[in-house]
Amino acid sequence: MGNPGPSLAAHYDLRSQEKSIIAASKHGPLQSLTDRELAIADQPLTVYPYRLQRRVRAWVRFGPESIRVDAVIVRSTPKAAGIEFRAGDQRFRCWVWGNAVELVDEADGAR
């Protein structure tokens, strides 16, 4: 029967990730860095307009359950990234350490 085309494969990957996010979210609330960890008062904060938001893969934690998600970076400090990702009709936002984030090559597809 062969392999599905790139468009169909991307759709299956997205559906699989959505299911994984929903399952992980049942283990507890989405964790985010604290104000103390972010030290916003002492660090420069960058907020990215939509056209400058970059696609990333990031590790997030729901309660004790960690999962890697496709996201966009919407803000940052020198050591942390504010990311946003979706699962179905739910939008999730959190702060993670910068080393938990990997930029995605834009040639891999549109967000």
Better pLDDT: 14 or 9: 14
Q: Is residue 76 a part of any domain in this protein?
A: yes
How far apart are alpha carbons 100 and 58 in whole angstroms? 5
Q: How many domains does the chain have?
A: 1
Q: Mean pLDDT across the stretch 37-56? A: 95
Collapsing DSSP states into helix, strand and coil, what is residue 57?
A: strand
User: Contact 85/71 with Cβ under 8 angstroms?
Assistant: yes
Compute the distance between CA of residue 7 and CA of residue 109 in angstroms, rounded to an integer.
10
What pTM was computed for the model?
0.80
> 1 lies in a domain?
no
Structure tokens belonging to residue 94: 């959190």
Is the pLDDT assigned to residue 95 strictly greater than 80? yes
Q: Is residue 103 part of a domain?
A: yes
Contact between 45 and 81 (Cβ < 8 Å): no
